[in-house]
Amino acid sequence: MKGGIRYHPEVDLDEVNALAQLMTWKTAVADIPYGGAKGGIGCIPKELSLSELERLTRVFTQKIHDLIGINTDVPAPDMGTNAQTMAWILDEYSKFHGHSPAVVTGKPVDLGGSLGREAATGRGVVYAAEALLNEQGKQIKDLTFAIQGFGNVGSWVAKLIHEIGGKVVAVSDITGAIKNQNGLDIPALLSHKEATGNLIDFGGGDVMNTDELLTHDCDVLIPCALGGVLNRENADHVNAKFIVEAANHPTDPDADEILSKKGVLILPDIYANAGGVTVSYFEWVQNIQGFMWDEEKVNRELKKYMTKAFGNLKSMCQSHSCNLRMGAFTLGVNRVARATQLRGWEA
């Protein structure tokens, strides 16, 4: 099984169960050989010192070391955790089971992490968007993009779209939002954010209200932050023709219905953000083989997986005449059902 471990004040059992189920469908859609898992600790990581986080992680690992394992359950980083957290889990697990680099993914490269893992979710989102737009006869370089969230995923998405020649006209994060109809200078914005920690006093764009980002005038909207941001209050005002769900569950069911009626095409999260778990799979494969790939190969394989999954998703939509979200879930559930049946588990 595969899934992230999150450190967040609102972690609870229901959320962890729901996210684990979502991972089951996501790994099936991406066609990688895992079931879904999830874990978490209810805490506020930014209020803890580095040594407190380390002790917390090591004790957690001591409690779960016989539940995780190379062929049973392979954790990865999620909200509030990172490569350092994975390094502590690996070290603590190895005290019980011997050196086992494949027990977690998203590790630092020095400890057997994969090149390209850090950018993987964002890069996968861009490959997914490319697949959708190509199918519609469009290209990234001719379109405008608004990106909500400028953390790991959002900043990579912006950077890669900018490199391809797409125009990023608005971005936002918790510090604020900025826009520029002629396209923001993303490399300059990234340097500014690195230096100051916020977006708003960036010279190359105008400040806007963060709530307006989702309804900003653009061709493609990419929510990369929290779940439930598109709802019945704002869905009607969305101007984008395409929505690529880089966040988990950014569109609630009411918004889904409203947007479908408006003819907005939504690329669902369980496909769009599967780049992270796909490159985690590559990391696990490399660790088991004891043979590491170069970054070019990681990106090439990721593109292959994302493009193939889109093809499978589209043919599911055609044979069941349904939208992309329904097609993705149908694809995932069908694969799991088929495996269940072949093993003789059906009730």
| Active-site residue list | 38
Pairing of strands 206-208, 220-223: unpaired
What is the sign of the dihedral through the CA atoms of 247, 175, 44 and 229?
Answer: negative
Altogether, the residues listed in the chain come to a count of 347
CA 11 to chain centre: 18
Binding residue ranges: 2, 26, 121, 152, 280
Long-range own/partner contacts, residues 186-193 (CB < 8 A, 24 or more apart): 186/158, 186/159, 186/161, 186/162, 187/159, 187/162, 189/158, 190/155, 190/158, 190/159, 193/150, 193/155
Cα-based distances in Å from 12 to 6, 42, 46, 67, 89: 11, 7, 19, 19, 21
Contact 277, 76 (CB under 8 A): yes
- The Cα 97–Cα 39 span in angstroms is 20
Give kind and range of the element (H or E) at residue 337. helix 324-342
Contact 168, 147 (CB under 8 A): yes
Binding residue ranges for substrate: 2, 26, 280
- Residue 267, phi then psi, degrees to nearest 5: -90, 115
Please give the angle made by the CA atoms of 194, 195 and 197, to the nearest 5 degrees.
Answer: 65
Q: Looking at residue 219, what DSSP letter applies?
A: S
Binding residue ranges for NAD(+): 121, 152
Q: Looking at residue 241, what DSSP letter applies?
A: S
